[in-house]
Amino acid sequence: MLTRQNVVNILTLDDCIHAVEEAFRRHGRGEIGEPGILGMHVEGGGFHVKAAAMGGHRPYFAAKLNANFPGNRTRGLPTIQGVIALFDAADGRLLALIDSIEITILRTGAATAVAARYLSRPVRSVVTIAGCGNQGRVSLRALARVRDIESAFVWDVDSERARTCAADLSSVISRAVTPTDDLCAAARLSDIIVTCTPSTEPVLGPDAVRAGALVAAVGADSEHKQEIHPALMARAVVITDVTAQCATIGDLHHALSAGSVSLDHVRAQLGEVVAGVRPGRTREDEVVVFDSTGTALQDVAVAALVYECALATSSGTTLMLQ
């Protein structure tokens, strides 16, 4: 059994980015099967189960059960709480129960970094982060690993939260990070925009994004959440983490429902771009939207990494459930 602190002690952001990039690459090559997802809503929040198997020198299966309750901030509780069950996919043995909070935070930021590495223009970048919770913070940290950041803006519905986030992250990435009350104005100045809010309506429209920008849309991880206006999806090149999942719960889902795009509008899945089997950005002036709903491909890759590191360092607590 591995607690959140165990994971913090074991897992670095750089290692997480590497593991997630490799998971997407293997998915793009067809070496990893399609992940599964199940969601259930309850009053004030919801639960989802994400599962995937991964072959290799040792095959693994992971199932993550996460609770997502946006109102938990007022209760002094994490918005996202959960557990990852990691199994040996060769014989079915349960190998580990791992607190999911840190893995979920880091692997989501890692996916944004991988998307930026392959889909953003390789220029000194101005970045805007919409949403100053854990995901917003890790997104900027992760982007700083793969792109030369000139400066950044941070926006949140809670202005004080944005100011605190800006002060904290300025010292972390050693760049100017400015809080803003005008998300669209900041986005128009940006090369990379990350949206990681719990919004149920668009926060970013087609007029708020300049030519050549990358938008990493992270917040829509259920069918009720939406951050990107369907008109922006129609204007942009759309890259998904997993197209079938995005068509059900992502911003792609809303664009499809609005009739703004069809599935043919999706150029590729991120893994296909990473593997080199489909193109991502093909022109400097293209606006690219990465619809990032969060997949169990990321969870199984990072959970396996954490488990193997835990074995090597004798971390965690050994339990016998049988």
The pLDDT tens digits for 243-269 are 999 999 999 999 999 999 999 999 999
3-state secondary structure string across 179-243: ECCCHHHHHHCCCEEEECCCCEEEEECHHHCCCCCEEEECCCCCCCCEEECHHHHHHCEEEECCH
Q: Which of 259, 270, 275 is nearest to 298 (CA)?
A: 270
pLDDT of residue 73: 84
Residues 218-229: tens digit of each pLDDT: 999 888 899 999
Q: How confident is the model at residue 273 (pLDDT cuts 50, 70, 90)?
A: very high
Q: What is the mean pLDDT of residues 80-98?
A: 96
Report pTM: 0.94
Residues 119-158: tens digit of each pLDDT: 999 999 999 999 999 999 999 999 999 999 999 999 999 9
319 SS3 class = coil
From 48, 50, 64, 229, active-site residue? 64
pLDDT of residue 57: 85
Residue 64 annotated to the active site: yes
Q: Which domains does the chain have, with CATH numbers?
A: 4-104+297-313 (3.30.1780.10), 110-294 (3.40.50.720)
The answer on pLDDT for 300 being more than 90 is: yes
